[in-house]
Amino acid sequence: MKGFFAITRREIAERRLLFAAAAFTSLIPLIAPFVPGNGGASAVDVRGWTALLISFAFAAGISIGLGGTMCAPSIASRRIGFDFARPVSGIAIWGGRMAAAMLLAVATATIVWIPARLAGATLPWKDFLTEREVSLTWPLLALGALVVVFCLLHAVTLALRSRSALTGLDAVLAVAAWLGVSAALSRLPLFMAAVPFQRAAVGFAIAAGAALVAAGYASVAHGRTDIRAAHRALSLVLWTAIGAGVIGVNAYASWVMSAKPADLERDFWASPASAGTWIQVEGWARGARATFLYDTATERFARTPTIDWRGPVISANGSRAAWIQANGGPFPLWTWRLDDPKVEPARTRLLLDGYGSLMELSADGSRLATMEAGLLSIHDLASEKVLVSARLPTRERQSVRGLFIDNDRFRIFRTDEKTFDILELDAPSRTLRSIGRIEGLNGLRFFVADPTGGRIIAVDEPNRRTRLFDGRSGAFLATLGDAPADSRWPRFLSGSRIAVTERSDAGLRLRLYGPDGAALTTIPLPPGRSAVTGGEVAPGQLAVGIGDEGTHYKAWLVDFEAHSVRKVADELWPVRSLWTSPDIGSPATKLFYGPGQRSLVHFDPLTGKRRVLLGTGP
Amino acid sequence: MTEPIRIEGLTVRYGRSTACRDVSLCVAPGSVYALLGRNGAGKSSLVRCLLGEQKPSAGRTLLFGADAWATRKAAMARIGIVPEEPDAPPGMTARELSDFCRRIYPRWDAAAVMARLQRFGVPPKTPFGRLSKGQKGEVMLALALGHAPEALILDDPTLGLDVVARSALYEEIVGELADRGTTVFVTTHDLAGFEGIVTRVGILKEGKLILDEEMEALKARFRRIRYANRLTDTRTAFGTELDAFHAERVRVRGWGIEAIVSNFDDAVFERFRAIDGVDDASAEAVPLEEIFLAVAGEEKGAGQ
C-alpha cells in the first residue's frame, strides 16, 4: 500500500493548482443571484443550481481529462517507466493514479459546493429523494460513474495512441457488444419483464464498469512501457469480461423468457374459455409477470408476450386464441389454433397501432373485433384482412365493451357513469348504428352481459342497485336487488339463470333469478367477508368461495334444488370471469386457486378429487 | 552467490522484426558489464526486458535469480536505474522526487541524494521539466543511487551529456564501485568513458550477441598491427602475410598497411615480423572503441 499512497499523493500534488481553480470558481455561485436573467428564481435556488453545475463540470471534466491523460500517454511515451523502475506494484501504479483522479474530482466538486452551501444552498432534488438516497446511494452512483468515465477515457486514449489494427477490432467488438446487450434487453420488455430488465441492465452496467477498471489495470500492469502490449492486455480483459457479460445477460434474458407455466409461482390469475380445457393464466415466473395460454388437459402451452392489461383472448368454443404482441409498435396480431395439436402460434399480417381498448373473438374464433383510438374494426383471421372499420365517437372517461352476436355482427356497450349506449357494427352492410340506450343510471360501477348479448346486468348507486336490462334495446327488465348492500356480484349462469351474491347487514346470501329476472330463491351463505361465485359443476350446483376476515377462502357447494350449502374444501376459491359463463360441468367450472393464489388446482367439488395443475398447491 | 543479472535465450520481437535473438549473458557480482551496439542493435529492448518493463517474446531475464517480469517489484528495491531518456513527472522538483522515493524504498538516504544533487549543481527546487538534459540525467543518477542499490542498470546514461556532466557521472559510478562494489550493467556509446571501469563487454549486432568477453582478455587478443610491405610493388597492397591472423579490419595507408587483429599472439607476431618483405612491423593495444568498430562496424575482412 505504500506505493499506492505514494503515487496517489504524488499525482494529486502535481495537480494541486486544480484546488486553487476550484476555490476561485466557488465564488461564482455566490455572485450568480446578482446576475440579471435568473427568471425570478430565488437566490438560494440560483446558488444551488450554479454550484451544482460547476461542481459537476469539475468532477466530470477531471474524470474525462485525467482519464485520457494520466496513464495512456505515459505508457506511449514510456514515461511510466519511472514508476516501473521503482518497487511499486502494477496495481499501485494504476490504482494510485485512478484514486488521485477520483479524489481530485470529488475534492474540487466539494470545494465549489461549500461556499454555496454556507450561503444556504441545498441540493435542488433533496425534496424528491430520501435521506439515504441523498447521503449514500447517489454519491456512490456518482463516484461509480466518475470511475467508469475515467477508465473509459483511458481505454479510448490507449486504443488510439497504440495505433494498432487492434483499435479497429475494438470498434467492431464494441458494436457487437452493444448489439448483443440490446438484443437481450430489448426482448425483455416484450415479455413485460420490467424487473428482470432492470436487473439485467444494472448487472451488465456494473459488469461493464468493473471490466473497464480491470482492463485499465491489466493495460498498466501487463503493458508496462509497451503501448501495444498495454492495448492487447486491455482489449483481452475488456472484451473477455464484456463478452461474458453479454453472454450472461442473454442467458439470463433467455432464462426469463423461456419460463413455462410450471415455473409460475405466485399471484395466479386465470381466465378459462367457456368451453374446452384452455385457459389464459398468468402469474410471476422467474422474476417477471408471465402470461400463458395453457391446456389444462394436455399441458400444451404458449407464452404470449403481451402487456399485462391486454392479454390473449380465447374464443367461447375454446378453439382459437389471439393476442397482440407487445413491442414498440406497430403491434402484430398473433393467432393460434388451439384445437389442432400440430399447429403452432402464427403471426398474422395484421398490425395494430395500439394495444386497443377492446379485443374480442367471435364464438368460433374466426373473427376478431378490436378498437383502438376510436376505430372499431372486425378482422377476418383466415384471410388476415380487415372486414370493416368504423369510427366510434368517444367521450371522456368512457369504457367500451362488446361481443359478437354472430360472426357478422358486433354489439358494443359504451358507458360512462351515467350513460349507457348500445351500438352494433354490421360487417356485410358496413354500418355502425345505435340500437339502444339504458336510461336512468346513477354512478355505474360495472355491468355484465350474457354470452349472447341479449341481457345486461348493471350495478350502480345507490346501494349497489342491480338491475336487468334488455341487451339490444336497453329496456329495463327487472330489479335484482336494490336494498342496501355492501356488495352485489351478479353472474349469468350457463343455463340462463342469474346468480347474485350479496353482502349486507343480514350477512352473505346468494340469490337466484330466472332468465327474465324473476326471483327464484335466496340461499343464506355461511358467514364471511366476501363471496365469489364459480361455475355450475353440475345442473343446479354452484361452486362458491367464501373468504374470512383474513385471506383464507373456503370452497362451498350451493345446491339450488336442495336449498343447501356444504363446505367442500379449505383454502380453495373458484376461478371466475364475469364475462364468461362456463358450460355446466365443464373443466372451467372446476378450476380453483390454491392458498394465497400460489397455485391453480383442478378440483371436483362433487367427488372431492383435486390435482394441482400449476404452482405449489395444497 | 547468485548473479545479479542473467539473461537466458532472450528473444524480443515486434511483429515481423526481431530486436533481440536468443541472447544469453551473465553479469557477475561486483563487475561492470558494458553492452555495446549500434543504434537499433536491440540494447534498449534488452534493457526493458531486464527491468521487467517488457515481456520477452522468448527466453527470460533474471534479476538476483528471479524472473524480472514476474518479480519486478521485489527486484527494483535492490536495483538503481538510469534510463536512456531521463524522465520523471515534470512538475516535481528533485527534492519532491526524492520525497516520493523515500515513501516507497525501504532504505532511502535522502541526505545522500541531496548531497549528490548539490555536487552536481542541480537546483533542488526547480521542476524536473525545466531542468537541462544533463541535469535531468544527474537527478536520475542521484535517485538511482539513493537506496544504495546492489546493482545499477544504466541505459546509455551519457547520451546528450556534456563533458562536465559525463565526468560527474563517471565519478559517481567509480565512487559506488569503490565504496560498495555495486554491480553495474551499462549500455553505452561512450566507449572511451567507460573503458577504464568496464570488466566485461558484450556487443550486440542486429539483435545477436556476437561478443561476450572479459575486458582483459578482449584487449589482450585485439591488436593494431602496422607494417610497410615490400612484397608488392606499391608497398600499400597486401597479400598472404596476414593469413596467420584473424584480421577484423585492414586499411591501406600511405606508408603501408594497418590491420586490427582479434587473435594476437606474441609468437605468431614474431614469425610475422620475420617474413621477408614485412618492414617496420609494430603491434599496439587497441582502445575499446576500435575493437567495437572492428567487430560491429560494417567494414570487415581483408579487402582493400
Which backbone phi and psi does B244 adopt, to 5 degrees? -70, -15
Closest CA to A134 of A123, A143, A145: A123
Query: Which pTM does this prediction carry?
Result: 0.79
C-alpha cell at B282: 609494430
| Strand ranges (E), chain B | 5-14, 17-27, 32-37, 58-63, 66-67, 79-82, 151-155, 183-187, 200-205, 208-214, 223-229, 247-252, 257-261, 278-285
Cβ proximity of A458 and A477 under 8 Å: no
pLDDT band at A617 (very low <50, low <70, confident <90, very high): low
A88/B73 Cβ within 8 A: yes
Place A108 in a pLDDT band, splitting at 50, 70 and 90.
very high
Question: Any bridge partners for residue A524, and if so which?
Answer: A509
In the predicted structure, residue A37 carries a pLDDT above the cut 80: no
The answer on pLDDT for B167 being more than 90 is no
User: pLDDT-derived band of residue B165, with 50, 70 and 90 as boundaries?
Assistant: confident
* Local structure of residue B130 (DSSP, 8 states): G
Q: A13, B96: Cβ pair inside 8 Å?
A: yes
CA distance A216 to A95: 9
Task: Determine how many CB atoms are found less than 10 A away from the CB of residue A5.
Answer: 14
3-state secondary structure of A205: helix
Q: What is the pLDDT of residues B62-85, one digit of tens each?
A: 999 999 999 999 999 999 999 888
- Whether the pLDDT of residue B252 is over 90: the answer is no
The mean pLDDT of chain A is 90
**Cβ atoms < 10 Å from Cβ of A229:** 18
Cβ–Cβ of A86/B104 closer than 8 Å?
yes
Contact A402, A411 (CB under 8 A): yes
Q: What is the pLDDT of residue B302?
A: 38
A618 CB-side CA count, 13 A: 17
Predicted confidence band of residue A60 (pLDDT cuts 50, 70, 90): very high
The band of B238, judged by pLDDT with boundaries at 50, 70 and 90, is low
Assigned C-alpha cell, B12: 524480443
Q: Check A81 against B96: CB less than 8 A apart.
A: no
pLDDT confidence of B275, banded at 50, 70, 90?
confident
Residue A78 and residue A43: Cα distance in Å, rounded?
Answer: 51
> What confidence score (pLDDT) does residue A194 get?
84
Residues linked to residue A428 through DSSP beta bridges, in sequence order: none
Residues 425-464 (A) with a CB less than 8 A from some CB of B: none
Three-state DSSP at A101 gives helix
**Among B53, B91, B101, whose Cβ lies nearest the Cβ of A224?**
B53
- The mean pLDDT of A382-403, rounded to a whole number, is 87
Residue B188: pLDDT over 50: yes
Task: Please measure the distance between the N-terminal and C-terminal CA atoms of chain B and give it in whole angstroms.
Answer: 49
CB contact under 8 A, B89 and A224: no
Contacts of B61 in chain A (CB under 8 A): none
Which of B51, B82, B103 to mutate to test binding with chain A, by most A CBs within 10 Å of its CB? B103
Is residue A497 within 8 Å of A478, Cβ to Cβ?
no
C-alpha cell read off for A315: 374464443
**Which of B83, B96, B105 lies closest to A81 in CB terms?**
B83
Question: pLDDT at position A607, please?
Answer: 93
Q: Are strands A399-404 and A385-391 parallel, antiparallel or unpaired?
A: unpaired
CA distance A35 to chain B (A): 38
Model confidence band, residue A417 (pLDDT cutoffs 50, 70, 90): confident
CA–CA distance, A478 with A565 (Å, rounded to integer): 27
| CA A343 – CA A354 distance, rounded (Å) | 27
The closest alpha carbon to A576, from A536, A529, A616, A522, belongs to A536
What pLDDT score was predicted for residue A362? Answer: 95
**Minimum distance, in Å, between the CA of residue B91 and any CA atom of chain A:** 6
Task: Tell the residue number behind the cell numbers 538516504, with chain if given.
Answer: B109
Shortest Cα–Cα distance, B297 to chain A (Å): 30
Residues of A in contact with B52 (CB under 8 A): 84, 224
Q: Which long-range contacts (CB under 8 A, 24 or more apart) does A607-615 make?
A: A608/A568, A608/A569, A610/A569, A610/A572, A613/A296, A614/A261, A614/A262, A614/A264, A614/A268, A614/A281, A614/A283, A614/A294, A615/A264, A615/A265, A615/A266, A615/A268, A615/A283
Would the CB atoms of B103 and A2 count as touching at under 8 Å? yes
B contact test, residue of A86, A89, A164, A232 with most B CBs within 10 A: A86
Section A186-212 average pLDDT: 88
Bridge-based pairing of strands A320-324 and A331-337 is antiparallel
Indicate the residue of A6, A9, A85 with minimum beta-carbon distance to B76: A85
Cβ(A220)–Cβ(A90) under 8 Å? yes
User: DSSP alpha helices (H): ranges in A77-193?
Assistant: 81-84, 90-118, 131-132, 138-162, 166-190
Q: Which residues from chain A sit within 8 angstroms of residue B81, using beta carbons?
A: 85
Distance CA B112, CA B120 (A): 12
pLDDT at residue A510, rounded to an integer = 94
Which residues of chain A neighbour B103 with C-beta distances below 8 Å?
Answer: 2, 5-6, 9
pLDDT 10s digits, A247-264: 999 999 999 989 999 999
Mean pLDDT lowest for which of A522-531, A543-552, B292-301?
B292-301
- Contact residues on chain A for B48, CB-CB shorter than 8 A: 81, 225-226
Cα(A385)–Cα(A367) distance, integer angstroms: 10
DSSP line for A230-252: HHHHHHHHHHHHHHHHHHHHHHH
Q: Is residue A3 within 8 angstroms of chain B, CB to CB?
A: yes
Put simply, the answer to whether B72 touches A9 (Cβ < 8 Å) is: no
Q: Given an 8 Å threshold on Cβ–Cβ distance, is A85 in contact with B48?
A: no
pLDDT digits (tens, 9 = 90+) for A479-496: 998 788 888 889 998 778
State whether A85 and B51 contact (CB < 8 Å). Answer: yes
Query: CA B135, CA A575: separation in Å to the nearest integer?
Result: 90
**Which SS3 state, helix, strand or coil, does residue B201 take?**
strand
Q: How many CB pairs under 8 A join A and B?
A: 69
Partners of B72 on chain A (C-beta within 8 Å) are 84
Which residues touch A479 (CB under 8 Å, ≥6 apart)?
A: A465, A466, A467, A468, A517
**Burial class for B82, CB neighbours closer than 10 Å (0-12, 13-18, 19+):** buried
Residues of A with Cβ-Cβ distance to B101 under 8 angstroms: 86
CA distances (Å), origin A90, targets A135, A271, B286: 33, 63, 46
Look up residue A489 and give its DSSP letter.
Answer: E
Binned at pLDDT 50, 70 and 90, residue B250 comes out as: confident
Note the pLDDT of residue B304.
Answer: 33
pLDDT tier at A384 (50, 70, 90 boundaries)? very high
pLDDT tens digits, one per residue of A577-601: 777 788 888 888 999 999 888 899 9
* A236/B contact by beta carbon, under 8 A: no
The answer to whether the CB of A447 falls within 8 A of the CB of A415 is yes
Nearest to A161 by CA among A59, A234, A236, A237: A234
CA atoms within 13 A on the CB side of A272: 26
A180: pLDDT strictly greater than 80:
yes
A79 contacts: CB under 8 Å, gap ≥ 6? A73, B87
Q: What integer pLDDT is reported at residue B235 of this predicted model?
A: 56
Which of A2, A84, A163 has the most B C-beta neighbours within 10 Å, making it the best mutation to test the interface with B? A84
**Cα–Cα dist A136/A536, whole Å:** 58
The residues, any chain, with a CB within 8 Å of residue B212's CB and separated by 6 or more, are: B25, B200, B201, B202, B203
Side chain identity at A39, as an amino acid letter? G
Query: How large a percentage of chain A has pLDDT more than 70?
Result: 98
Q: Report the DSSP beta bridge partners of residue A403.
A: A411
* Whether the Cβ atoms of residue A459 and residue A469 lie closer than 8 Å to each other: no
pLDDT band at A550 (very low <50, low <70, confident <90, very high): low
Q: Which residue of B has its CA nearest to A83?
A: B88
Which of A429-438, A525-534, B246-255 has the weakest average pLDDT?
B246-255
| A594 touches B: beta carbon within 8 Å | no
Tell me the C-alpha distance between A174 and B103, whole Å: 41
| Nearest Cα residue in chain A from B103 | A6
Question: Is the pLDDT at B135 greater than 90, yes or no?
Answer: no
pLDDT in tens, A448-490: 999 889 999 999 887 788 999 999 999 999 999 878 888 888 9
Tell me: pLDDT of A93 over 80.
Answer: yes
Taking 60 as the threshold, does the pLDDT of residue B299 lie above it? no
* Contact of A366 with A348, CB cutoff 8 Å: no
**pLDDT > 90: percent of chain A:** 61
Higher-confidence residue of A274 and A434: namely A434
Put simply, the answer to whether A10 touches B92 (Cβ < 8 Å) is yes
A371-374: long-range contacts (C-beta < 8 A, 24 or more apart)?
A371/A400, A371/A402
Grid cell 483481452 — which residue?
A: A236
% of chain B surpassing 90 pLDDT: 41
pLDDT at A348 over 60: yes
B100 touches chain A (CB under 8 A): yes
Residues from chain B contacting residue A78 (CB–CB below 8 Å): 53, 85, 87
Q: Residues of A with CB below 8 A from B73's CB?
A: 87-89
Closest residue by Cα to residue A330 from A309, A348, A308: A348
Cβ pair B51:A84 closer than 8 A: yes
pLDDT-based confidence at residue B97 (cuts at 50, 70, 90): very high
Reported ipTM: the value is 0.83
Per-residue model confidence (pLDDT) at position A618: 56
Determine contact: B103 vs chain A, CB below 8 A.
Answer: yes
| The pLDDT value given to residue B222 | 92
